[in-house]
């Protein structure tokens, strides 16, 4: 079973790739969390894959992913792994996931990072098209190797990209991100908005409501699906995104999410 969280489709693409190679299925963490259960129970067979695929937010897993693992109860002895998608590096994400799984009585058998095109335009611009294409091609090759590892149920494989000063980034920057960045006050919409409702439909926390134009509530995960997937680029974040590009995975529409 492959649990995934996605904003602009990078992690969905990786999760679907793994599920297809392993003959498994993908399950949306956001849709599960909509059920607001105290416990999510699953019974898995010995060495059955238990995968978590998610993007990196400020050098750590999204808060929703860790919240889901905290409510997870798994019986059996699955083969547990995670795959993070990141623009450059993931910090000490492996420590975060290992600790969360250990609290549920599960070992982390293997861990993977996958560099993908950048989508965090409040901090950076999107990658140039040439670099975007290079990252997508490299991701295909890397996923082929990752699937070999998973198929063999190899343990203690750590193909992650911690980057420079990983402990500092995860320990200091991520808590500040979770405290101050998970807000909606910086979102705005300009007059090019058509009221199509895509942003409301795809928001994983249902904070966006569209009547004439989108209005944001207070809850946010900073997935930036709304700003990147707006078909007319009407949504902005602060004053720095109007002249920046937008990105979502080219297979997103084909994947039907």
pLDDT at 8 over 70: yes
Give the C-alpha separation, 95 to 222, whole Å.
22
Q: Where are the beta strands (DSSP E) in the chain?
A: 2-4, 26-28, 40-43, 49-55, 72-75, 79-86, 110-115, 157-159, 187-189, 208-210, 214-216, 235-237
| Structure confidence by residue, pLDDT tens digits, 130-146 | 999 999 999 999 999 99
Domains, the chain: 2-177 (3.40.50.360), 182-255 (3.30.70.20)
* 0.85 surpassed by pTM: yes
pLDDT range class, residue 257, cuts 50, 70, 90: low
How far apart CA 46 and CA 42 sit, in angstroms, is 13
What pLDDT band is residue 254 in, cutting at 50, 70 and 90? confident
Span 19-70, pLDDT tens digits? 999 999 999 999 999 999 999 999 999 999 999 999 999 999 999 999 999 9
Q: What's the pLDDT band for 234 if we cut at 50, 70, 90?
A: very high
Give the per-residue pLDDT at 149: 98
Query: What is the average pLDDT value for the chain, to the nearest integer?
Result: 96
pLDDT at 256 over 80: no
Three-state SS for 113? strand
**CA dist 99 → 42, 90, 105, 171, 202 (Å):** 20, 16, 10, 14, 30
Model confidence pLDDT, tens digit, residues 169-212: 999 999 999 999 999 999 999 999 999 999 999 999 999 999 99
pLDDT category of residue 216 using cuts at 50, 70 and 90: very high
Instruction: Record the tokens describing residue 227, joined without a space.
Output: 């700003």
């Amino acid at each position: 079973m492959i649990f995934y969280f996605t904003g602009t489709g990078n992690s969905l693409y990786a999760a679907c790739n793994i599920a297809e190679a392993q003959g498994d299925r993908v399950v949306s963490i956001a849709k599960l969390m909509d059920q607001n259960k105290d416990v999510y129970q699953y019974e898995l067979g010995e060495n059955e894959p238990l995968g978590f695929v998610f993007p990196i937010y400020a050098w750590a897993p999204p808060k929703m992913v860790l919240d889901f693992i905290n409510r997870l109860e798994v019986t059996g002895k699955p083969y547990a792994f995670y795959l993070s998608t990141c623009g450059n590096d993931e910090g000490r994400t492996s420590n975060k996931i290992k600790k969360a799984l250990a609290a549920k009585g599960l070992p982390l058998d293997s861990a993977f990072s996958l560099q993908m095109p950048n989508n965090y335009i409040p901090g950076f611009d999107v990658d140039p098209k040439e670099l975007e294409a290079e990252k997508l091609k490299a991701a295909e090759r890397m996923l082929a190797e990752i699937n070999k590892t998973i198929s063999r149920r190899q343990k203690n494989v750590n193909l992650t990209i911690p980057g420079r000063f990983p402990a500092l980034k995860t320990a200091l920057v991520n808590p500040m991100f979770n405290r101050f960045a998970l807000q909606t006050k910086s979102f705005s919409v300009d007059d090019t908005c058509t009221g199509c409702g895509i942003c409301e439909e795809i928001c994983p926390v249902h904070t966006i409501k569209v009547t004439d134009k989108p209005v944001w509530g207070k809850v946010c995960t900073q997935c930036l699906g709304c700003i990147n997937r707006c078909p007319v680029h009407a949504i902005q974040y602060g004053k720095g995104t109007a002249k920046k590009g937008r990105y979502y995975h080219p297979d997103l529409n084909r994947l039907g999410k």
